[in-house]
């Protein structure tokens, strides 16, 4: 199968959907000629014109609000939010308006919009350009949240997001834009709420999202050298969450480490770990482990930043400890 | 449009005769502009030689704005800075060593390496921080002015932001309150014509000065390449703001010489080489002010060269120092999440 970058995968997904459906349009800062700072959208304005690929002023609450209104009235906007950190600027429009419209109208109105943005630290961009804020959005009922972990997911999930009748927030890992993965040439969509078993294993389940899937793949290789067989489950979307696949895996391995790049407290790792605790408790041989980003703003200095996110070595170490029965309660 | 007519055009000042007792201030302004340029040239070199983590937005070309304004301020006055903040930082009194240390994420940096280029600030001189959120400091500057008024400190606050930031709704909210409450804040729009890779005129409707005037705020257009014009206007506005006649708005036309950030090298698709050359060759704030200092016999050509050499040597020594300086200890990662009074 051909291999393409994550960037190209997103670009293809959007182009295909724009060709298929005239109501799809794109807006955001520097999305047209510049094709975004990460060059993900290059070429789209040439094909679809400035009527459908719209450069906006630096007015995030304004254009997200407009996307909500456009979506309620027959358009399917894709809004580009340059950095996930800018979610804090658009929270009212996203969480009070987009998320609640279907419910507040008793199902009479809906908001089929996609907000595409990113997550991920270690790019030396400091505290306001490095956050992974997907848990914050996932907390709000009415928003779907997709976390592609490779070019393949990025394409399939984006196409599904565009066709969804609800607001979907899709977070790409900004460090992965140039990473290649096999992506079929033929059209395909990936359903929401269906986890992917990235790797089969017997001894421990690593539940990993987005950027952490690669980290866990490397961790699994390290564990293998110690004779530990790790299974990796990538939920792909956290709303909706495919609980069954996660629970089935944990029931088989009887151990779990949940790894996600959001802050550890009150986040994705907490949610998934507690569901495992609630629903697979009697299958567990060790306390479920959580590994998220440290509960600190992301520091600039490489000497500090690298300490804040889970590494393959740290994941392997933690997983190894629970497999060897060395850790009864997390430190 | 009535509001437009009310826009003051600050007179270009370079035709004025220098007064002897100001010559120290002139030399200082020149030096500060040269220091900013030297800082940026070294920052660019650090990026190109892969010694600097991440990216940085360079201030080169805009020196007269930061310097003209900050030279009109007292040390205790506040400023808020932007993602393109090295110039403001230098102009408000920062030292090279701690700045380069910050740029490289070292412990001795002004923010102990936690902020980096986009948050660089010497807090001890009233700089309330550089901001990576476009428009993110507009509330902060206005709030500093609220303190100045409530506590009667006599301070003013200058809010630096780019033309692109005028699209942020926050600005209109705080201008309204600043005008209602007559706060001593000066909104300084560094209008370099671009928001990243887009000409700002393509994404801004109407007139920017008229927007401030709609709130009853006096607005001024000034040549941001002319350090004396900037300094002269700011000096007057600061004095008036201290008397409770603020807030004010300045639209300073200027130009960034480099790309949006150091990595933005092929930029023909959004702005022409001719346009860049025009600004660099004819309107360079440092070259032109240097000529004026010579014409006015404040400095000789040799003195100008010597000053430039001295500043460049300082900058290079500071770079060397910062390269060898140590990174913060890993234990610092959890420090400062919450403030612990010393
Ligand atoms: C809220 C927000 N939106 C978008 C960005 C990305 N961004 C960084 S700088 C910039 C352009 C800013 O233009 P301007 O205010 O004119 O400042 P300049 O870069 O020209 O100095 C943009 C869009 C950001 N940092 N923050
Ligand atoms: Mg600008």
The distance in angstroms from the start CA to the end CA of chain A is 44
pLDDT tens-digit profile of A171-222? Answer: 999 999 999 999 999 999 999 999 999 999 999 999 999 999 999 999 999 9
Looking at residue B257, its pLDDT comes to: 98
In a domain, residue B178? The reply is yes
Cα of B84 from ligand 2 centre, angstroms: 10
In a domain, residue B145? The reply is yes
| Average pLDDT of the residues in A126-137 | 98
Residue of B nearest to A60 (CA): B168
Alpha-carbon distance values, A116 to A14, A113, A119, A287, B113 (Å): 11, 10, 11, 35, 31
Looking at residue A329, its pLDDT comes to: 61
CATH superfamily to which A3-182 belongs: Thiamin diphosphate (ThDP)-binding fold, Pyr/PP domains (3.40.50.970)
How far is it, in rounded angstroms, from Cα B237 to Cα B188?
11
Token output for A160: 């599904």
Could you tell me what percent of chain A has a pLDDT over 70?
Answer: 99
Provide the domain count of chain B: 1
CB A56 within 8 A of CB A27: yes
Which of the four pLDDT bands, split at 50, 70 and 90, describes residue A327? confident
- Concerning whether A60 is annotated as a catalytic residue, the answer is yes
Q: Domain segments of chain A: what residues?
A: 3-182, 196-323
Phi-psi region of B298 (alpha: psi -120 to 50; beta: other; left: phi over 0): alpha
Looking at residue B20, its pLDDT comes to: 54
Q: A289 at the B interface (CB within 8 A)?
A: no
- Of residues A57, A300, A308, nearest to B105 (C-beta): A300
pLDDT tens-digit profile of A137-177? Answer: 999 999 999 999 999 999 999 999 999 999 999 999 999 99
Query: Which residues, 6+ apart, have CB-to-CB distance to A102 below 8 Å?
Result: A109, A110, A111, A142, A166
A169: helix, strand or coil: strand
Given A12, A129, A231, A305, the catalytic residue: A129
Q: What's this model's pTM, rounded to 2 decimal places?
A: 0.95
pLDDT tens-digit profile of A219-237? Answer: 999 999 999 999 999 999 9
pLDDT tens-digit profile of A269-314? Answer: 999 999 999 999 999 999 999 999 999 999 999 999 999 999 999 9
In a domain, residue B105? The reply is yes
B217: helix, strand or coil: coil
Which CATH number goes with the domain that contains B68? 3.40.50.970
Chain centroid to Cα A36, Å, comes to: 19
ipTM for this model: 0.95
Q: Which residues line ligand 1 (CB under 6 A)?
A: A 29, 58, 60, 82, 86, 89; B 57, 83-84, 132-134, 161-165, 192, 194-196, 260
In a domain, residue B340? The reply is no
User: For ligand 2, a single-atom ion, which residues have Cβ within 5 Å?
Assistant: B 162-164, 192, 194
B162: helix, strand or coil: strand
Q: Three-state secondary structure along A109-164? A: CCCCCEEEEEECCCCCCCCCCCCCCHHHHHCCCCCEEECCCCHHHHHHHHHHHHHC
Residue B76 dihedral angles phi and psi, to the nearest 5°:
-80, -10
Q: Do domains A3-182 and A196-323 have the same CATH topology?
A: yes
Q: Which residues form the domain of B124?
A: 4-14+21-256+265-325
Atom from ligand 1 closest to the CA of residue B200 = 16
The tens place of each residue's pLDDT in chain B, 342 residues long, gives 333 333 445 444 444 555 656 899 999 999 999 999 999 999 999 999 999 999 999 999 999 999 999 999 999 999 999 999 999 999 999 999 999 999 999 999 999 999 999 999 999 999 999 999 999 999 999 999 999 999 999 999 999 999 999 999 999 999 999 999 999 999 999 999 999 999 999 999 999 999 999 999 999 999 999 999 999 999 999 999 999 999 999 999 999 999 999 999 999 999 999 999 999 999 999 999 999 999 999 999 999 999 999 999 999 999 999 999 999 999 999 999 999 887
CATH (one of 3.30.870.10, 3.40.50.920, 3.40.640.10, 1.10.10.10) for A196-323: 3.40.50.920
Chain centroid to Cα B251, Å, comes to: 13
Averaged pLDDT of chain A:
97
In a domain, residue B317? The reply is yes
Query: Which residues, 6+ apart, have CB-to-CB distance to A200 below 8 Å?
Result: A231
Token output for B17: 């005769």
Looking at residue B21, its pLDDT comes to: 65
């Amino acid at each position: 199968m051909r291999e393409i970058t994550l960037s190209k995968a997103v670009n293809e997904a959007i182009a295909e959907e724009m060709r298929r459906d005239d109501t799809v349009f794109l807006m955001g800062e520097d999305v047209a000629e510049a094709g975004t700072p990460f060059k993900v959208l290059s070429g789209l304005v040439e094909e679809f014109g400035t009527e459908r690929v719209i450069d906006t002023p630096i007015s995030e609450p304004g254009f997200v609000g407009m996307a909500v209104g456009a979506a309620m009235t027959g358009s399917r906007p894709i809004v580009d939010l340059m950095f996930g950190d800018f979610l804090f600027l658009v929270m009212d429009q996203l969480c009070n308006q987009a998320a609640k419209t279907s419910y507040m109208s008793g199902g009479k109105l809906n908001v089929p919009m996609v907000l595409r943005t990113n997550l991920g630290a270690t790019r030396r961009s400091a505290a306001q350009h490095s956050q992974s804020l997907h848990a914050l959005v996932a907390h709000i009922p009415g928003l779907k949240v997709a976390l592609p972990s490779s070019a393949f997911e990025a394409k399939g999930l984006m196409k599904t997001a565009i066709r969804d009748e609800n607001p979907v927030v899709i977070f790409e890992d900004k460090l992965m834009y140039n990473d290649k993965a096999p992506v079929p040439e033929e059209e395909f969509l990936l359903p929401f709420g269906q986890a992917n078993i990235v790797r089969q294993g017997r001894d421990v389940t690593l539940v990993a999202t987005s950027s952490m899937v690669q980290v866990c793949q490397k961790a699994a290789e390290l564990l293998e050298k110690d004779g530990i067989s790790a299974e990796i489950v990538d939920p792909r979307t956290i709303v909706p969450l495919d609980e069954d696949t996660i629970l089935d895996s944990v029931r088989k391995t009887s151990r779990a480490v949940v790894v996600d790049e959001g802050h550890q407290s009150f986040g994705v790792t907490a949610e998934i770990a507690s569901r495992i605790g609630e629903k697979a408790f009697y299958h567990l041989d060790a306390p479920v482990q959580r590994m998220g980003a440290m509960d600190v703003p992301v520091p600039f200095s490489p000497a500090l930043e690298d300490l804040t996110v889970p590494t393959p070595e740290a994941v392997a170490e933690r997983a190894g400890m629970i497999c060897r029965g060395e850790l009864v309660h997390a430190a | 449009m009535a509001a437009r007519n009310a826009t003051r055009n600050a007179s270009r000042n370079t035709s004025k005769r220098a007064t002897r007792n100001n010559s120290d201030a002139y030399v200082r302004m020149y030096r500060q502009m040269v220091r900013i340029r030297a800082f940026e040239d070294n920052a660019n070199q650090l990026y190109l030689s892969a010694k600097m983590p991440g990216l940085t937005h360079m201030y080169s070309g805009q020196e007269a704005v930061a310097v003209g304004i900050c030279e009109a301020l007292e040390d205790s006055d506040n400023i808020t800075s932007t993602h393109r903040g090295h110039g403001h930082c230098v102009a408000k009194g920062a030292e090279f060593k701690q700045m380069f240390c910050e740029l490289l994420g070292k412990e001795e940096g002004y923010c102990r390496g936690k902020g980096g280029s986009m948050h660089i600030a010497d807090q001890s001189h009233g700089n309330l921080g550089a901001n990576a959120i476009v428009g993110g400091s507009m509330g902060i500057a206005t709030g500093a002015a609220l303190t100045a008024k409530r506590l009667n400190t006599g301070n003013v606050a200058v809010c630096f932001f780019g033309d692109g930031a005028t699209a942020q709704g926050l600005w209109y909210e705080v201008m309204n309150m600043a005008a209602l409450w007559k706060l001593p804040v000066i909104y300084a729009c560094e209008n370099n014509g671009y928001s990243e890779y887009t000409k700002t005129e393509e994404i801004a409707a109407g007139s920017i000065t008229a927007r401030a005037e709609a709130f009853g705020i006096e607005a001024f257009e000034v040549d941001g390449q002319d350090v004396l014009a900037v300094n002269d206007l700011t000096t007057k506005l600061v004095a008036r703001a201290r008397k409770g006649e603020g807030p004010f708005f300045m639209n300073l036309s200027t130009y960034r010489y480099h790309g949006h950030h150091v990595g933005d090298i092929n930029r023909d698709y959004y702005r022409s080489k001719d346009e860049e050359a025009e600004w660099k060759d004819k309107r360079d704030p440092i070259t032109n002010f240097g000529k004026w200092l010579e014409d006015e016999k404040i400095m000789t050509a040799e003195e100008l060269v010597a000053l430039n050499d001295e500043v460049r040597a300082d900058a290079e020594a500071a770079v060397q120092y910062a390269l060898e300086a140590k990174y913060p200890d890993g234990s610092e990662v959890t420090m400062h999440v919450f403030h612990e009074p010393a």
